[in-house]
Amino acid sequence: MEGKIVYFEHGGKGNTEETLRLAVEAAGRRGITTLVLASTTGDTARLAAQYVAGSGIRLIVVPHQYGFPQAQRFPSELVSGLEQQGHRVHFGTMLFHTEGFYGSDIPQTMAMLLRTICQGMKVCVEIVVMAADAGLVEEGEEVMVVAGTARGADTAVIALAAPSTKLHELHITEILCKPLKTRSWARGTSPYDKER
């Protein structure tokens, strides 16, 4: 089998429309009906809803959890609007942001490891697990997952979903796009903060 991966010169919101286009087209070809999407402020969710309109693809939108890092930035009116369109919005615990939870730094280590691929890959893995933990996707279900670096979307993968209790059963089966240049960082710092 041969496939194509699109590499973006830089990460960030400038890649959002192309990432969504690639994801929706690939989902259509593969018969995938669920797209798990990261969206912090709702901008990416609004755009994704337009891209999937009439396609039979259902969005599972995963914003930041309440209290991370400040007040919730995802608009409550957008939650209602998306749910009226048949999509779901899930505010769950961000599994890789449980610093010292139960005395373990393993989630942060996993996050740092995934960031060596790209920030969006870390978020893709995190949100598909969160969606499975919430029962919004089935264990083993093939889903499209879209996330990004700081704002917007720049990473799309196809995954077999799994809950956090069965992380070993989560599989990224295909990478559609990602930023070419990636960076990881020590705990508590982020090179992306300087770009905002």
Kindly report the CATH number assigned to the domain that includes residue 179: 3.40.1380.20
Residue type, 175: I
Q: Quote the pLDDT of residue 184.
A: 62
Q: Beta 142-147 vs 155-160: how paired, if at all?
A: antiparallel
Catalogue the E-assigned strands of the chain. 6-8, 34-38, 58-62, 88-89, 142-147, 155-160, 171-179
In a domain, 85, yes or no: yes
In a domain, 194, yes or no: no
* Helix (H), strand (E), coil (C) string for 4-59: CCEEECCCCHHHHHHHHHHHHHHHHHHCCCEEEEECCCCHHHHHHHHHHCCCCCEE
In a domain, 62, yes or no: yes
Q: Given the structure tokens 């286009």, which residue do they identify? A: 21
In a domain, 195, yes or no: no
In a domain, 30, yes or no: yes
Q: Quote the pLDDT of residue 86.
A: 95
Note if the pTM is more than 0.75: yes
10-residue block means of pLDDT along the chain (196 residues)?
Answer: 91 95 97 95 94 96 73 76 92 67 67 78 92 96 94 95 93 96 61 53
Q: Quote the pLDDT of residue 112.
A: 75
Rounded CA-CA distance 22/155 in Å is 10
In a domain, 148, yes or no: yes
Looking at the 3D structure of the chain, how many domains does it have? 1
Q: In this structure, is the dihedral angle defined by the CA atoms of residues 14, 18, 20 and 26, taken in order, positive or negative?
A: negative
Rounded CA-CA distance 52/56 in Å is 7
In a domain, 68, yes or no: yes
For residue 117, the enclosing domain spans 6-185
Rounded CA-CA distance 81/161 in Å is 26
Q: Quote the pLDDT of residue 196.
A: 42
In a domain, 61, yes or no: yes
**CB distance 164 to 125 below 8 Å:** no
